[in-house]
Chains A and B, each alone.
Chain A
Amino acid sequence: MSDSPPAAVHPALAELFGGFVLVSISGFGGALPWARRMIVEQKRWMTTEEFNETFALSQFLPGPNVINFSVVFGSRFGGPAGAVVALAGLLGPPLMIVTVLAVLYERFGGLETLSRVLAGVTAAAIGLLIAVVAKMAAPMFLMRWNSAPIFALLAFTGVAIMHWPLPYVFLGLAPFSIAFAWFKR
């Protein structure tokens, strides 16, 4: 997107907090698309390229991607204080909402009606997740002479079929996956 103007606007801490609060409560089914909208399109705090670069970093780091993103983004503009403020804005409101839901669920979770509705929603939510996997997998499986599908299948098998603990699977595969990526070029 070469037509997007250079991002030279530097947000103040209060603005940073407010921006991430808005992202957190408008985001449904993940907060990423809303973060991109706010940061690149509305506030112009970053260009598309800067956003993609920053998000790529948050994505390969362990832990929740959007949470990582808020920390990386916040620290870039406001150091440690910026990171804390962005994180608090992104996590605060959803945490309050979900706590209310948790209380309600503990009280009414046994109700037949509620569990029926949730069964339907869960089935749909799994479908969404499968679509995400398919979109991620398509380019990887179309490339020829590529070790990536093998590592994806090994990680899947170890966790889903063998029920091995995640740390073992990760530590067993990551060095080889990185080594293959190193020698590929």
Chain B
Amino acid sequence: MATTPQVSGTRPPKVRRRRAGNPLTWVRSGGLSTLLFALPMIFVFAIFSWLPIVRSLIMSFQKTNLITASWVGLDNYTAVLRDPLLSTAVLNTAYFAVLALILGFPIPIIMAVLMSEVRRGKGIYSALAYLPVVIPPVVAVLLWKIFYDASPQGVFNVILGAVGIPPQPWLQSQSQAMPALVIEATWAAAGGSIIIYLAALLIVPPELYDAAEVDGAGIWRKIWHVTLPQMRGVIFVMLILQVLATAQVFLEPFLFTGGGPANATTTILLLIYNYAFKNSLGGNYGMATALSVMLAAFLAILSWVYFRLTNRWSTS
């Protein structure tokens, strides 16, 4: 890659920096046209991002319908904490997150390492792995709902039958519903992670492998002592991203089971949705925002602690 002569590495010099004060000078020096470029961004972020963020904090201390609002102190928070469904939802969400970690986290890493080693067909393999990500998530869930048909003629039950396993109830069973959701979610998300890991594998400096070979390392030791440590940064970030995503899982429980059977798949997000939108006469927006704020605070603390820890591991 040739480097053209350019100001590289340094920040581009500040161009317009004149004293404001006289509006006419401001307009002449380009202040007005700059503002015209900035305004669309400021507008959408103010109305659709900053304002709602502030509003969610305020609303969690209010009783709101669409017309009036009154302060109720911590009532929303205590109401949420007293809801018997809360512990169910928290445990279900944690269960989903843990299952997704056990099942879904190692698979993309292994697949990416394998895919990086084959010489031919890598493009086709990447495309095949990424295909499930391209299918609209709603279509994927509705399709898998048909796959999970509990009758002996259901798609998955036919496959199991071929290897001699009796038909499973899948989504209709309290114990199997959540694993079924996790399997679909893993299938839907793995391709994206594989592509990211493949990209991370490419930036492992080849010299490190050469050096490891000089030291007599075999394939497994190269994977263990070079590849994985070199991918450590990406793996750490992917891990917390996955935890943050699964803590907010909504689509799968909403469309597969609606939280059933017997609340076995009610997640925190589903509970928030039910507080706010299930009752068509007007939702309990206060309780919904209170639970959202609590979840967000928990996730913020979790990621902060996580980054403190992983930073220490990365540097040591």
Q: Do A and B bind each other?
A: no
Residues of chain A at the chain B interface (Cβ within 8 Å): none
